[in-house]
Amino acid sequence: MRIAGIDCGTERTGFGVIDTDGRSHRFVTAGVIRTKPTEALERRLHIIATELRDMLERFTPEAFAVEEVFHAVNARSALRLAHVRGVALLMAAEAGLAVSEYSPLEVKVSVVGYGRAEKRQVQMMVHSLLAIEEQFDSYDATDALAVAICHGTRSKVPSAAGAR
Residues 58-102: tens digit of each pLDDT? 999 999 999 987 666 678 888 888 999 999 999 999 999 999 999
Give per-residue pLDDT as tens, 7-48: 999 999 999 999 999 999 999 999 999 999 999 999 999 999
Rounded CA-CA distance 112/37 in Å is 32
Q: Domain containing 126: what range?
A: 2-162
**pLDDT at position 56, please?**
98
Domain count, the chain: 1
Q: What is the pTM of this model?
A: 0.93
Q: What is the CATH number of the domain that holds 58?
A: 3.30.420.10
Angle of helix 119-130 versus helix 139-154 axis, rounded to 10: 60
Whether 163 shows a pLDDT value over 50: the answer reads no
pLDDT of residue 74: 79
Name the residues annotated as catalytic.
7, 67, 140
- Residue-wise pLDDT for 95-145, tens only, equals 999 999 999 999 999 999 999 999 999 999 999 999 999 888 889 999 999
Burial class (CB in 10 A: 0-12, 13-18, 19+), 156: exposed
